């Protein structure tokens, strides 16, 4: 549909459809170059410092106005025929692409990232959700029968909320491990490290 980014879409696109209003679709779209690291790129092409670029702002700085030529959140309310740009608030668009809509309210949405984000105004403004024991949130599930119940998969394991993300419980009963780098040595047969 019309209204999608004009810059080349070269990265991930995360989508979710509002169960309570299926004509409403949210899209998290990476737009333009990311520098290969997922870090933001300033308007002059230089790599942004943490918290800058891609619509972010450093501590004490006012965020720049939303820019549809950069990575961000788009929304359609007519089943994808037309789209409108909402916000650049988010994190490492090439790495985190999860966006989820509350199953009972199309104005409430969540997105993954190093911090976890929540919007209660239809995706225009996003706040970082505090109180989660770990960061790097890659998986989001909202119970379709109880929108207060959210499961959040991250680099630390699994967290659960029973109050729409106001408080969190870390589920520390599963034997989990995360591999960041795997390699093999030159032995025959080789050992995996």
Write out pLDDT tens, residues 69-118: 899 999 999 999 999 999 999 988 888 889 999 999 999 999 999 999 99
Whole-number pLDDT of residue 193: 86
Task: For the beta carbon of residue 166, count every other beta carbon within 10 angstroms.
Answer: 12
pTM for the whole structure: 0.79
Place of tokens 């820019």: 67
Q: What is the pLDDT of residue 126?
A: 96
Q: Which of 95, 135, 131 is nearest to 11 (CA)?
A: 95
From CA 128, how far away is CA 63, in angstroms rounded? 14
What ranges make up the beta strands (E) of the chain? 13-17, 25-29, 72-76, 84-87, 99-101, 109-111, 117-119, 127-128, 137-142, 150-154, 157-161, 169-171
Instruction: For the chain of 193 residues, list the mean pLDDT of each consecutive stretch of 10.
Output: 81 93 96 55 40 49 84 96 95 89 98 96 96 91 97 93 96 80 91 89
Phi first, then psi: what are they for 100, rounded to 5°? Answer: -135, 140
DSSP-assigned letter for residue 144: T
Give the distance from CA 148 to its chain's centroid. Answer: 19
pLDDT of 172 reads 86
């Amino acid at each position: 549909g019309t209204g999608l980014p004009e810059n080349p879409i070269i990265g991930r696109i995360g989508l979710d459809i509002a169960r309570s209003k299926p004509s409403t679709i949210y899209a998290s779209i990476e737009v333009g170059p990311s520098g290969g690291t997922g870090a933001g790129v300033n308007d002059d092409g230089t790599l942004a410092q943490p918290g800058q670029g891609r619509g972010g702002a450093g501590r004490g700085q006012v965020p720049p106005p939303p820019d549809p030529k950069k990575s961000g959140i788009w929304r359609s309310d007519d089943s994808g025929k037309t789209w409108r740009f909402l916000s650049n608030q988010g994190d490492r668009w090439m790495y985190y692409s999860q966006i989820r809509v509350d199953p009972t309210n199309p104005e409430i949405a969540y997105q993954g990232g190093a911090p976890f984000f929540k919007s209660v105004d239809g995706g225009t403004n996003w706040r970082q959700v505090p109180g989660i024991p770990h960061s790097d949130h890659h998986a989001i599930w909202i119970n379709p029968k109880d929108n207060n119940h959210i499961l959040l998969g991250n680099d630390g394991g699994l967290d659960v909320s029973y109050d729409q993300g106001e408080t969190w419980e870390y589920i520390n009963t599963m034997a989990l491990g995360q591999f960041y780098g795997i390699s093999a040595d030159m032995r025959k047969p080789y050992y995996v490290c």
